[in-house]
Amino acid sequence: MPTESAQQAMRVLRDGSHFQWHVIPFLMLVLYVYANEIEKRNWNVVVAGLALWGMDWFNEIWNALVFHFTQYAPVWGAPGRSAYVILIGLNIEISFMFACAGIVVAKTLPADRARRIVGLPNRWFVAVAASVFCVFVEILLNAVGQLTWDYWWWNARMPWLIIVFGYLTFFVVAFWVHDMPTMRRKVATVGCLYAFDGVCLVLFGAVLGWI
């Protein structure tokens, strides 16, 4: 039987009656962030941002599939107030945040890839630090009931899986794309990621109705 938080999230899943006008300025903010980087021709930062956003969609799809197959709970849920809940663990506000997160963090990367920070390769240091910070924010959101965790192995007392699979993979892929030697390879990689996400959304969502 689904948990109460899962039932609550499913009740508002893709319910357009909850729309709020703050979605529009949030959308414009996301567009401005990308337009600003495009104007400066910061293509590495742009593709890093898109890669991280694509990784978030991948995570949200498998999270929704966990609920479908268990009929108990997703690994994380987003039953709180939102203008639009896209998937059981993803609302429009979270999606807009992740659309910008990769750009924000990629802009902190040192230009010298070989530079070390406290003895660690700088890409790994930034990825781990950003992941830990994001999990700290998630713990706060969970404390106020806006983000729910129903499994014993995915919570504030066991943060390691959240750090690694909830965020570290996002930043590692984003930085990997950022540092690829050619723009053609960067675009192809991001394109493949979005194509895979799109196929999954169509298959598991529109066709099978699982998510």
pLDDT in tens, 104-117: 999 999 999 999 99
Burial class (CB in 10 A: 0-12, 13-18, 19+), 67: buried
Tokens of 190: 């991001």
Contact present, 138 and 166 (Cβ < 8 Å): yes
- C-alpha span between 14 and 86 (Å, rounded): 5
- C-alpha span between 32 and 83 (Å, rounded): 21
- Please tell me the predicted confidence (pLDDT) of residue 80: 82
The CA dihedral of 68, 200, 14, 64, to the nearest 10 degrees, is: 30
Asked whether the predicted pLDDT for residue 73 surpasses 90, the reply is yes
Tokens of 8: 């609550």
User: What average pLDDT does this structure show over 206-210?
Assistant: 96
pLDDT digit string, tens, across residues 126-143: 999 999 999 999 999 999
Asked whether the predicted pLDDT for residue 196 surpasses 90, the reply is yes
Tokens of 129: 């630090």
Non-local CB neighbours of 144 within 8 Å, separated by 6+ positions:
none
pTM here is: 0.94
Of 28-37, 95-104, 111-120, the range with the lowest mean pLDDT is 111-120
- Please tell me the predicted confidence (pLDDT) of residue 201: 98
Asked whether the predicted pLDDT for residue 21 surpasses 90, the reply is yes
- C-alpha span between 79 and 36 (Å, rounded): 33
